[in-house]
Chains A and B, each alone.
Chain A
């Protein structure tokens, strides 16, 4: 009977596998090590990270083969409908032309920035350093506080690339650079993807409802009127205010209604939530009513975006990063305008996107990461990136290039997004302390309590404030 032998063989295979995995590793005892970049740990490394140490370089090699071979990973959140192909192209080009024997392997991380944080945590716990990682702005402080294993740009330039000394100043305006600077003043990485929330609208539906597509709504009252018109004339929903599990479209609501900042620092150093104001309650009450009256639909992100793209929702407020996707996947006249403001108060929107952080261990890897970063920040790389996604150019040098100037002036939606960036954008609040992630979640919960569960607005806001204060000062 063949089966006996098969069974035995399989048994052996299983036992051998068990034996290998149980005994054959030299993993550290505790799941993590207090490793800071220059000190190498004694863990095994995964296949892609082939590394050959070199003795002191006396002079720089001149041909590619003389450089030590280094492989780093580039962790990103861009799937195929959102910049993935552009990344593939850039990686291929860099690998072929960098002349320093560097190979970049791009790695798509599902679950957006939360996924990156989780992956990074697992990776670092096993002592493995990826290379260059996209970190969402909202994770800025959390990252700074919980992942000490990165190398910041200033250190990189000082230690490894003194010839690039002016890189940060030349490329960044102070405002944008601040996006990558954490609450304790440290610049974590280079702000790369930049987006602001736009209000996209279906010009065809507008016309059907007797609205003028050349004059889209500018204030929330006007949005309400437009939504009512669309509903009456066409039966479709007027607005989809995006509802993902982040606060990208939550915080601007409050900041635009006269709020200076979401939290403040007291004299004794404790933090306190500062958003429980009558204006905040007023804003959310308006939005609640909009939803209750069937003018705004509060559904999960995929459904709302899909419905808008399918032509059954009049307006949609979501990231400018969807420009490219919407221009290619809709069969109607799609346009964009700035997010609505509260009457004549100053509109404030949050800057979304990510910064690129170097999480590498050895000198060679850090150098390689820096080379990759420089490549990504070349003006034509940034152009490709902007056009392939809908993100906005982060650096002065890229913005001023003729290609970008043309793009920003000719693409209606990109133009609006850029204007909004210049005129109305502020940093997306990144909470201090070790519980930043949960604080953000409380705000998302508050939004859902108000818009999905129809709870009393003041109660919901106060509730969120209490919970957040507990988390801010553990």
Chain B
């Protein structure tokens, strides 16, 4: 009985050690990536367990920037991500608003049909969408990448969830005062779910930034590549090998999500904490 407080402390200590170990394991690959980008190729194959470069050099970054149109990659990623993010937000907001505050027949059914699409594996729609984009003559274009991604089931799910927290009476009161739905949505509802919208926006942006499969299928020329699929260029089998430069490009690609995370981590995490899966 008398050792209870210290037993508790020990236990907590143990958990902290475990968690710290987990954090170290999780971050080791990132540190490895960063420091490797500062080593020369020869050193990389001979450094063994030593993660730190003996004489750090920026030559890999230099090589990457001069040999690859990195700024163009970033630009392309940006354009696609912005189009997709705004489109997804707009469509999610409109749809959620209608499903929550308007009289729609078969509301539940429609909602389920939209969100069930989350579970359709990409492999099923991959080839038909490829053919469709081809037909629209949008192959190898940023628009071709963005077009199939203008709506998002998870976005609808979460924003609807957030909107449901708002008492319907608010909107109804406004409507009695002859305010139409659009104004109600924009002036009343959106401000109230603003943090969810912002968080979802950031998630959409980051997911689009990191996307690989679909841009890889659609974008064929180097000028149109996004920074994520540009990483493949360092795995070209008829060229040379480029451990250092690929790490440099990977580091560059990580900077945007890192930056966004640093400024908005609380919002992102809190959106997902309220998973609210009790429907």
Q: Which residues of A contact B (CB under 8 A)?
A: 1, 3-4, 7, 10-11, 14, 17-18, 21-22, 25, 27, 31, 43-44, 46, 77-82, 107-112, 115, 118-119, 122-123, 125-126, 244-246, 301-307, 309-312, 319, 321-322, 325, 329, 331
Contacts and interface: CB of A to CB of B under 8 A. Distances in A.
B41 A11 contact: no
18 contacts: A3-B190, A21-B138, A25-B136, A27-B135, A77-B236, A77-B238, A107-B222, A109-B221, A110-B220, A110-B233, A111-B232, A111-B236, A118-B220, A122-B134, A306-B243, A309-B41, A322-B240, A331-B42
Contact of B241 (A112, A115, A306): A306
Contacts of B87: 10, 14
B141 to A, nearest CB: 9
Nearest to B194: A3
A115 B143 CA distance: 21
Given A109-B220, A312-B45, A17 B232 contact: no
B240 A329 contact: yes
Nearest to A245: B237
Given A110-B222, A110-B232, A325-B239, A312 B134 contact: no
B236 A44 contact: no
Contacts of B221: 107-109
Interface size class of B (residues with CB under 8 A): 35 or more
A305 B222 contact: no
A21 B67 CA distance: 34
B44 A310 contact: yes
A112 B233 CA distance: 10
B246 to A, nearest CB: 8
Contact of A110 (B42, B137, B236): B236
Given A4-B186, A307-B45, A302 B241 contact: yes
Contacts of A80: 67-68, 239
B241 A79 contact: no
A11 B232 contact: no
Contacts of A81: 239-240, 242
A258 B237 CA distance: 29
Interface in B62-100: 67-68, 83, 86-87, 90
Of B86, B137, B238, which is in contact with the most chain A CB atoms at under 10 Å from its CB? B238
B241 A309 contact: yes
Of A110, A111, A301, which is in contact with the most chain B CB atoms at under 10 Å from its CB? A110
Given A7-B186, A10-B87, 17 more contacts: A3-B190, A10-B86, A14-B86, A14-B150, A21-B138, A44-B137, A77-B236, A78-B238, A82-B239, A111-B236, A122-B134, A125-B131, A125-B134, A303-B241, A305-B240, A309-B240, A329-B240
B193 interface: no
Contacts of B220: 109-110, 115, 118-119, 122
A319 B238 contact: yes
A302 B234 contact: yes
B238 A82 contact: yes
Contacts of B67: 80
B139 interface: yes
B252 interface: no
Contact of A79 (B137, B187, B236): B236
A284 B234 CA distance: 30
B88 to A, nearest CB: 10
Nearest to B243: A306
Nearest to B244: A306
A126 B238 contact: no
Interface in B128-156: 130-131, 134-140, 143, 147, 150
A294 B241 CA distance: 22
Interface in B16-63: 41-42, 44-46
Contact of A301 (B139, B147, B237): B237
A17 B143 contact: yes
Contacts of B241: 301-306, 309
Contact of A329 (B41, B136, B236): B41
A82 B240 contact: yes
Contacts of B143: 17, 21
Contacts of B260: none
A273 to B, nearest CB: 25
B269 interface: no
Which 9 residue pairs across A and B have the least CB separation, nearest first?
A306-B241, A310-B45, A81-B240, A82-B239, A302-B241, A305-B241, A81-B239, A80-B67, A325-B240
A306 B242 CA distance: 7
B239 A25 contact: no
Contact of B242 (A107, A109, A125, A302): A302
Contacts of B118: none
Contacts of A77: 236, 238
B41 A21 contact: no
B150 to A, nearest CB: 6
